[in-house]
Amino acid sequence: MAERSLRRIGVLTGGGDAPGLNAALRAVVKTAILRYGWTVIGFEDGYEGAILGRARQLGLDDVRGLLVRGGTILGASNRANPFFFAHPEQGDTEPRDHSRTLLATLERIGIDALIVIGGEGSLSIAHRLNEMGLRVIGIPKTIDNDVRGTLQTIGFDTAVTTATEAIDRLHTTAESHHRVMLVELMGRDAGWIALSAGVAGGADVILIPEIPFVLDRVVEVIRGRRQRRRSFTIVAVAEGARPLDGEAVFERTGPLPYQRKYGGISLVLQKQLSRILPTEVRAVVLGHLQRGGTPTPTDRALATALGSAAVDALADDDDGVMVAIRAHPAGQATWGIVRVPLAEVARGPRLVPLDHPLVRAARGIGISFAQQDEE
């Protein structure tokens, strides 16, 4: 891997699936072949394929028609951390560090550089591999939109669109039956989906991890709406939302800090509110519907731009960076592509700032975040 000339690059899709992954793969393959004449090798199931050598060459025919397809043709895995992996062929009974195994596998296959399409976790791993000498470029994807260093990630727009459409549909049934509807949305420790879809869908209450909520405040909003003859209430709940005096609802899937399976906060709230209120309370967990389906035009365009830019970065002899989008000054294009050091991405997830314009706008139009000191 010391040779700087590029002839053969690898690509993988790590972490959870997200709409637009196939569009990014298509852009990587087409740019690498048509612009630079390189060979592209795709690794199956994220880092697991790179460790075990499950790989196949991707040509132009392999990516034909991928622009509109959800998911990823390479498969994905959010449990295959090469620094904490149980190798089935080496008899591991417990996970251990297989980063050297991965590097040896890439060396054997003849990979000159690797493009990782992933979220904060996958790109943090990419940073560690880069520090070990692997030439790596990152592309940010996750419906959670929590990757540091970029304004938006591949998959986020589609997830928000799906969530907003769900909230739109719940308005009519909630109003017809005078119900309180709790809509649980994905996002892990970040509230970007719940905030964006809650504002776009006209939720009355938005609960996000960044602003711990007080149950009494939620009750006050519901009772206040009934007093004003507004017979229903829509509450957008991020799966990582937590009460001021408690923790988020999750199940541990492993010993590492990020190995958490979130979900169930809306069901907890449903039981609590049903004991307090005479109003019927229903919970809807949108779940993996937010990950599936055809990517929106915004996600297709973003994935194409970032996929092509990642290949260009390698051609410029640049590595250890993530291609990202940043806002341009007023009067120029709405956004542009920049290269962000993977070290910045590895600093941790990008959470919703409390002074974010959408938070301020939500408060301005009367949406409650159910926080303790809320007016």
The annotation status of 342 as a binding-site residue, yes or no, is no
Residue 278 has phi, psi (to 5 degrees) of -80, -15
The annotation status of 132 as a binding-site residue, yes or no, is no
**Taking every pair of C-alpha atoms in the chain, what is the biggest distance, in angstroms?**
72
The annotation status of 374 as a binding-site residue, yes or no, is no
The annotation status of 361 as a binding-site residue, yes or no, is no
The annotation status of 179 as a binding-site residue, yes or no, is yes
Q: Is 142 exposed, middle or buried (0-12, 13-18, 19+ CB in 10 A)?
A: buried
The annotation status of 331 as a binding-site residue, yes or no, is no
The annotation status of 282 as a binding-site residue, yes or no, is yes
| Distance in angstroms (rounded) separating the CA atoms of residues 276 and 156 | 35
The annotation status of 16 as a binding-site residue, yes or no, is yes
Q: What are the residues whose beta carbons fall under 8 Å from the beta carbon of 94, sequence distance 6 or more? A: 86
Strand boundaries in the chain, DSSP class E: 8-13, 39-43, 55-57, 113-118, 136-140, 180-185, 205-207, 233-238, 250-252, 260-262, 281-285, 321-327, 335-341
Q: Which residues pair with 323 in a beta bridge?
A: 339
- C-alpha to C-alpha distances, 4 to 43, 140, 320, 340, nearest whole angstrom: 21, 24, 14, 21
Catalytic, 204? Answer: no
The annotation status of 121 as a binding-site residue, yes or no, is yes
Catalytic residue among 17, 45, 112, 144: 144
Q: Which residues pair with 260 in a beta bridge?
A: 252
The annotation status of 143 as a binding-site residue, yes or no, is yes
The annotation status of 222 as a binding-site residue, yes or no, is no
The annotation status of 35 as a binding-site residue, yes or no, is no
The annotation status of 142 as a binding-site residue, yes or no, is yes
Residue carrying the six token digits 């309370």: 281
Extract the annotated binding site.
Answer: 16, 79-80, 119-122, 142-144, 179, 186-188, 239, 282, 288-291
Residues making up the annotated binding site for Mg(2+) are: 120
Instruction: Please enumerate, by residue number, every residue annotated as part of a binding site for ATP.
Output: 16, 79-80, 119-122
Catalytic residues: 144
Annotated binding site for substrate: 142-144, 179, 186-188, 239, 282, 288-291
